[in-house]
Amino acid sequence: MQQRKYLITGATGKTGVHTVKNLLAAGHAVRAMVRKEDARSAALRAAGAEVVVGDLLDHDDLIRATSGMTGAYLCYPVRPGFIQGTAYFADAARRAGLEVVVEMSQISAREDAKSHAARDHWIAERVLDWSGVPTIHIRPTFFSEWLIFPWVRDTIVKEGKIALPFGEGRHAPISAQDQARFIAAVLMQPQGHIGKAYELCGPEEMDYHGIADEVSKVIGRKIVYSPATLDAYRAHLQHYDLPEFTIQHFLEVAVDYQNGVFEGKDHVIGEVTGKPPQTVAEFVQAYRALFGA
């Protein structure tokens, strides 16, 4: 096998850290781009990655980070600036002659999205397409990790309920670890994937009543889904010091969720990686301690 070199942005994030590990395990060289040096970046370095500190909104940082790389994973957080960062990244990727870029978008990305972040993702996809950089877009549904985000986990642990304004909508939660296996696989073998956009979902579509039941079975305590109003959800999120841009996104995608935008189940991860994505029960079991079980 010929060793290739991959840049992973957001390398200490949920999908980034697992993508780094998968590529290293396959014998490739990895440059992990992080915002700052900390214990997480130290762990990546100890695992064998080259760690570079940089900002996706700094053109010079991106030119340096992409230099000498074969391919890259572009992952930007839910915050303003993604279109600007994508333009910088596309230019840097063209200069470096990258053979493949996997870009983290979202299932709600579309031209008429009410979420500012979701619409930014849609425009960012177009920027990469227009640039001519060989790109694969991934559009995941809600991560399984939503269950362990503080604003969701806290009500599970303290009140025995999941309080989200998602109505009776449905989705198939997908873990970051399973997404990372797909990301690494198409980075290493991009043939047939360039120019495509993949919706990434878990194996089983369910509503939050069903998800609450799965959590209950694993942790041995009754958890119920108690649908919240959008106003109550906004007030709840404000206790967690989240920026308004993020809160606006969460509120608008809650409406999208009610309207079926996040529906679907896995049709590609199992096929491409040879291993199906994990179930909600398997995910909760892995993080059982976080639920006080």
Secondary structure (H, E, C), the chain:
CCCCEEEECCCCCHHHHHHHHHHHHCCCEEEEEECCCCHHHHHHHHHCCEEEECCCCCHHHHHHHHCCCCEEEECCCCCCCHHHHHHHHHHHHHHHCCCEEEEECCCCCCCCCCCHHHHHHHHHHHHHHHHCCCEEEEEECCEHHHHHCHHHHHHHHHHCEECCCCCCCEECCECHHHHHHHHHHHHHCCCCCCCCEEEECCCCCEEHHHHHHHHHHHHCCCCEECCCCHHHHHHHHHHHCCCHHHHHHHHHHHHHHHCCCCCCCCCCHHHHHCCCCCCHHHHHHHCHHHHCC
Name residue, tokens 């989240």.
Answer: 242
The answer to whether 134 and 98 are in contact (CB under 8 A) is yes
Q: Is the pLDDT of residue 88 over 80?
A: yes
What is the C-alpha separation between 254 and 250, in angstroms, rounded?
6
Q: What is the mean pLDDT of residues 215-243?
A: 97
Write out the two tokens for 97: 């002659």
Distance of CA 163 to the CA centre of its chain: 22
In this prediction, residue 20 has a pLDDT band, given cuts at 50, 70 and 90, of very high
Q: What is the mean pLDDT of residues 165-176?
A: 97
CATH architecture for residues 5-142+175-201+261-277: 3-Layer(aba) Sandwich (3.40)
Q: Is the pLDDT of residue 208 over 80?
A: yes
pLDDT (tens digit per residue) in 39-66: 999 999 999 999 999 999 999 999 999 9
What local confidence, expressed as pLDDT, does residue 292 receive? 82
Q: What average pLDDT does the chain have?
A: 97
What local confidence, expressed as pLDDT, does residue 111 receive? 97
What local confidence, expressed as pLDDT, does residue 284 receive? 98
What local confidence, expressed as pLDDT, does residue 180 receive? 98
In this prediction, residue 293 has a pLDDT band, given cuts at 50, 70 and 90, of low
What local confidence, expressed as pLDDT, does residue 2 receive? 81
Q: What is the mean pLDDT of residues 134-149?
A: 98
Which of 50, 17, 54 has the alpha carbon at shortest distance from 35?
A: 54
What is the C-alpha separation between 35 and 233, in angstroms, rounded?
30
Q: Is the pLDDT of residue 1 over 80?
A: no
Q: What is the mean pLDDT of residues 114-137?
A: 98
In this prediction, residue 154 has a pLDDT band, given cuts at 50, 70 and 90, of very high
The answer to whether 208 and 142 are in contact (CB under 8 A) is no
What local confidence, expressed as pLDDT, does residue 3 receive? 87
What local confidence, expressed as pLDDT, does residue 193 receive? 98
Q: Is the pLDDT of residue 233 over 80?
A: yes
Provide the pairing of β-strand 170-171 with 206-207.
antiparallel
Q: What is the mean pLDDT of residues 176-182?
A: 98
**Percentage of residues of the chain with pLDDT beyond 90:** 98
Distance of CA 226 to the CA centre of its chain: 26
